[in-house]
Structure 1
Amino acid sequence: MQAWVDFFTTDYGLMSAAVIAFMFVMLGYIAWYVAKHVREDTERHDRLVREARGG
């Protein structure tokens, strides 16, 4: 229990919490960014395949 108290009340605990939160935010952003580009590239590829087949 003392670990949680130290984590949320000391300067190094709060800094650790901020870094952990920042890492989760960055993880979410990178996942969104990669998914967006994969979706765009897939759509571009599908469009090029349709054009190459003549339809």
Structure 2
Amino acid sequence: MSLWQEFFRDPVIFFSFTGLAILVGMSIFYAIYFYVKMVKAEKRSH
């Protein structure tokens, strides 16, 4: 059985990896968001 078939047939694997993907996506978004806010605040203070 191929890995993709197993991924889409087993709901535990599917929801686990989907949840992890959402969590990683949110982490990357907030890391970039706070970095941009920090750079803008530094430019305003000088």
TM range, normalised to the smaller chain? 0.7 to 0.9
| Divergent runs of 4+, >2 A | 1-7
TM-score (norm 2): 0.77
Q: Does residue 41 in structure 1 map to residue 38 in structure 2?
A: yes
Shift of 1:16: 1.2
Contact 2:7/2:14 (<8 A) preserved = no
Residue ranges of structure 2 left out of the alignment (5+ in a row) = none
Q: Distance in 2 between matches of 1:41 and 1:28?
A: 20
CA separation of 1:42 and 1:6: change in aligned 2, threshold 3 A:
closer
Q: Percent identity?
A: 11
Q: Distance in 1 between matches of 2:15 and 2:26?
A: 16
TM-score (norm 1): 0.67
- Structure showing greater Rg: 1
Residue ranges of structure 1 left out of the alignment (5+ in a row) = 50-55
Out of 5, 13, 30, the position equivalent to 1:16 is 13
